[in-house]
Structure 1
Amino acid sequence: MKTKTFYAILILFIIYSCNNDNNALDVEPIPDLILNNLIELNSNIPQDFYNDLTFTNENTGYAISRLGKIVKTTDGGSTWTSLNSTVNFYLKKIQFVNTDIGYVIGGDNTGSYLLKTINSGQSWSVINLNSIEKGFPTGLYFKNVNEGYITGNNLFIKTIDGGENWSNVLQRQSNDNFIDVKFKDNNYGIATTNTNNNYYKTTNGGASWQSIELINQNNLTQIYFSSGKTFIKSGNQLVDIDGGRSITLPNPVSKVQFLNATKCIGIGQHYETGFFPYGDILLTNNNWTTFIQKSYQFSSEAGDFTAIAKMNNHKTMILGTGQLYSKVITLTY
């Protein structure tokens, strides 16, 4: 009886470990992505250029704009409320570590700043990062409520007290223009630069970082983790730094979202005849060997899709912006 109990517990432990391991195979299958599942919501989202989007559950989401706006939905994107960010400068990235605590980075010619909420966006405190270079930071990642990282021009800093105090990550601070920073798990993290063809890697939770050269690549930007692999965007290439093949993205794609090892969403814009571009959403079911594409016109104005986030394991939201209004698109799968 004790033996049976032991094996039952062991099986449950293995299942739990696989479901919580970023390197595990995808447990829940995803059907093929199709354009018919793209739905434009009748939404009151304020017109703005939204840089980033995140969800704390399938209905509650936050978006940030280039004009300092933070908006929130609690019904899956149909209605949005403008929150009092207390700022009017460029906001770049947003992350919530739980339902209450969230962080936003942004800035202007007066400096770089971190915005923090501890009450689900009802109020925000503004923390001056006192960076040498003015402008706005570009990368944000908090491992938990206390430990976080921010990157930017000559900026790679770390906090261990929830953003109140910051220190340089590198012992001899690099002059690189740092772009993005992300952790795959508690130990493995990546930071990219677009100054040279190098990126930084840690395997001990950020205690030390190693500079690694990425041969024949430059302008390294976004970081993506998918099915145990690490991809860094370099131009229109997704470079698998773990030794696999690089993926060439279609020209309109500026951001991607991996759903599993083969299925992915891309967003961006393209130009045809005339002055104004079209906003584009692209879907692939075979890791960009082939793809399907839907283009949106924004009533004779410039259109672009600039923010994307998963709402749950079977639904994603995409935000698009024109000069007069913004679009809210959902994709179910």
Structure 2
Amino acid sequence: MKSKVLKLIFVFLLCSKAIFAQWETVYFPVAGLPQSFPCINSVEFRDFNNGFGAGHLGYLSNFHGCILKTSNNGTSWDTTYSTAMPFGFNDISYTSLATIIAVGQNINTGNLDSGLIVKSTDSGNSWTTLSTIGLTCLSFPSTNIGYVGGINGSILKTIDGGNNWNVLNTGTNSYVRSIFFINDTIGFVCGNDTLLKTTDGGLNWISQPLIIGTGFSLSKIFFPTDSVGYCNTFACGNDLTIFKTTDQGNTWISQYVNQAYCTLSMFFTDNSTGYTVGQFDVSKTTDGGISWNHQTATPPAMANFFDDIMDVFFLNSDTGFIVGNNQFYRTTIAGGATVSVNDISNPDKSTISVYPNPATDQITIELPNSETGKIELSIVNLMGQMIYKQETFDNSKIIDISQFAEGIYLIQAKTEDKKTYNKKIIIAR
């Protein structure tokens, strides 16, 4: 026992400057790259384990639309729906616990006017199909009311959960790339030189005062709250602009992101914390888009456009997923932020007490008596995986660790006023 502890302490010291992984890479199990690799354009999770990805399988002109399903947090995926050539899916979303809707289009050049809406009401076990125009995006503010967008400014609306759809007149022929409804009646669409808003469920659309110049394309719009929203341009480097509104789209301000690669999607977990993803890159802001930090995930050993990251989705502030060409990334700690195992630079982080250390079967975590609100406790292994999470109002907490493997772990406590306490421990038996 003593020699084992000494060995772990030696490893502990070697890792004292190690960084807990930001994003864990999980590859889709598809053989024959690149001819049959999946390009996943959209991802959404219902809970920590269950989620769907939508896109296409194939390479160049040999495309087959596919919907993939996971029930183990993305560790493995099964094809739950596939189309004949040459269709591909662009967006997918849960509309209730068991109902999923995906939209797509014919991805052969020149045939974008044909597409699909598919729906499952049994968690992806079976699907119904509706042929329609080429579609790129969807938004369901409630179970029965939803909107989809596509080519030539087309918007379709359903009021019966996707069984029937009516065409709305937007007054534009621009390609619709993203759609987001705050509630059943107030929503936004964006695309090529276009940002529109409706306040009456799509009957009328008003062009938004967004000056971006000609030739720009808006690729994604997202509202974390009713009043605060973000919209980004499909551009690269110094030309990349994030637009922000704090008054439900009445006015917009521009915020520049000096990013080396094009952005394709974004997601915000609250008013201030958000992510952009694109070619090779993941960037995060915690100040409402004023500044951005790169969180580049490690791409597979492929080149050029094969490394595009297409979409990002977060369940909460910690747990997120990103997808792209033959790749799936996930983070279960701090929203992909870098966490050092010896991060005690903030005095708030150095006053947590964890004992015994080394430990065998249980540990006691004690925080300062000044912390009186809700506390979120978590345990993270050296792979950056969160293996324990619980909320408590107690400053002292006993945790059973008998089921955890021997090794080095990070204990993390987050308070309601956003303080974070970190402590390293060793489990040895």
If the length of structure 1 is used for normalisation, what is the TM-score? 0.75
Please, which runs of 5 or more residues in structure 1 have no aligned partner? 1-34, 270-278
**Using the alignment, how far apart are the partners of 2:221 and 2:244 within structure 1?**
10
1:240-259 equivalences under 5 Å are 240-241=244-245, 242=249, 243=251, 245-249=253-257, 250-252=259-261, 253-259=263-269
Amino acid across the alignment from 1:229: V
From the superposition, tell whether residues 288 and 251 of structure 1 become closer, same or farther in structure 2 (CA, over 3 Å).
farther
Instruction: Quote the offset at 1:288 in angstroms.
Output: 4.6
2:69 paired residue number: 72
Indicate the SS of the match to 1:182: strand
The answer on whether the counterparts of 1:58 and 1:312 sit within 8 Å (CA) in structure 2 is: no
If the length of structure 2 is used for normalisation, what is the TM-score? 0.59
**Using the alignment, how far apart are the partners of 1:312 and 1:306 within structure 2?**
20
**Using the alignment, how far apart are the partners of 1:86 and 1:199 within structure 2?**
32
Indicate the SS of the match to 2:223: strand
**More relative contact order in 1 or in 2 (CA 8 Å, sep 6+)?**
1
1:299 paired residue number: 301
1:166 paired residue number: 165
Instruction: Quote the offset at 1:190 in angstroms.
Output: 0.6
**Using the alignment, how far apart are the partners of 2:145 and 2:84 within structure 1?**
24
* CA shift digits 1:102-131 (9 cap, x unpaired): 1111121371110111111001111012x3
1:266 lines up with 2:249 in the alignment: no
* CA shift digits 1:158-215 (9 cap, x unpaired): 1223333322212x75333222211112332111231xx4422122333432233423
CA RMSD of aligned residues (A): 2.6
Amino acid across the alignment from 1:284: T
1:48 paired residue number: 38
Q: Is the radius of gyration larger for structure 1 or structure 2?
A: 2
2:48 paired residue number: 58
Amino acid across the alignment from 2:157: K
1:281 lines up with 2:289 in the alignment: no
**Using the alignment, how far apart are the partners of 2:327 and 2:296 within structure 1?**
17
The answer on whether the counterparts of 1:198 and 1:213 sit within 8 Å (CA) in structure 2 is: no
* CA shift digits 1:252-274 (9 cap, x unpaired): 233222222332222222xxxxx
1:204 paired residue number: 200
**Using the alignment, how far apart are the partners of 2:23 and 2:243 within structure 1?**
31
Instruction: Quote the offset at 1:223 in angstroms.
Output: 0.7
Instruction: Quote the offset at 1:61 in angstroms.
Output: 0.4
Instruction: Quote the offset at 1:225 in angstroms.
Output: 1.0
From the superposition, tell whether residues 191 and 40 of structure 1 become closer, same or farther in structure 2 (CA, over 3 Å).
same
Amino acid across the alignment from 2:323: L
**Using the alignment, how far apart are the partners of 1:214 and 1:44 within structure 2?**
39
From the superposition, tell whether residues 52 and 300 of structure 1 become closer, same or farther in structure 2 (CA, over 3 Å).
closer
Amino acid across the alignment from 1:167: N
The answer on whether the counterparts of 1:85 and 1:123 sit within 8 Å (CA) in structure 2 is: no
Amino acid across the alignment from 1:78: T
Please, which runs of 5 or more residues in structure 2 have no aligned partner? 1-18, 31-36, 58-64, 235-239, 335-429
The answer on whether the counterparts of 2:104 and 2:135 sit within 8 Å (CA) in structure 1 is: yes
1:237 paired residue number: 241
Instruction: Quote the offset at 1:42 in angstroms.
Output: 5.1
Q: Which runs of 4+ in 1 moved over 4 A?
A: 41-45
How much identity, in percent, do the aligned residues show? 24
Instruction: Quote the offset at 1:74 in angstroms.
Output: 1.0
Instruction: Quote the offset at 1:226 in angstroms.
Output: 3.1
**Using the alignment, how far apart are the partners of 2:137 and 2:212 within structure 1?**
24
The answer on whether the counterparts of 1:57 and 1:312 sit within 8 Å (CA) in structure 2 is: no
**Using the alignment, how far apart are the partners of 1:99 and 1:87 within structure 2?**
28
1:112-123 equivalences under 5 Å are 112-123=115-126
**Using the alignment, how far apart are the partners of 1:159 and 1:295 within structure 2?**
38
**Using the alignment, how far apart are the partners of 1:293 and 1:212 within structure 2?**
32
* CA shift digits 1:215-263 (9 cap, x unpaired): 3444223111135312222242111244353122223233222222332
**Using the alignment, how far apart are the partners of 1:221 and 1:39 within structure 2?**
24
Amino acid across the alignment from 1:329: R
Q: Which of 179, 186, 189 is 1:188 aligned to?
A: 186
2:347 paired residue number: none
Instruction: Quote the offset at 1:145 in angstroms.
Output: 3.1
The answer on whether the counterparts of 2:269 and 2:316 sit within 8 Å (CA) in structure 1 is: no
Amino acid across the alignment from 1:283: K
**Using the alignment, how far apart are the partners of 2:219 and 2:28 within structure 1?**
32
**Using the alignment, how far apart are the partners of 2:265 and 2:176 within structure 1?**
18
Amino acid across the alignment from 2:291: T
**Using the alignment, how far apart are the partners of 1:290 and 1:215 within structure 2?**
22
From the superposition, tell whether residues 211 and 263 of structure 1 become closer, same or farther in structure 2 (CA, over 3 Å).
closer
From the superposition, tell whether residues 94 and 214 of structure 1 become closer, same or farther in structure 2 (CA, over 3 Å).
same
The alignment covers a number of residue pairs equal to 280
Amino acid across the alignment from 1:314: D
Amino acid across the alignment from 1:61: G
**Using the alignment, how far apart are the partners of 1:331 and 1:319 within structure 2?**
15
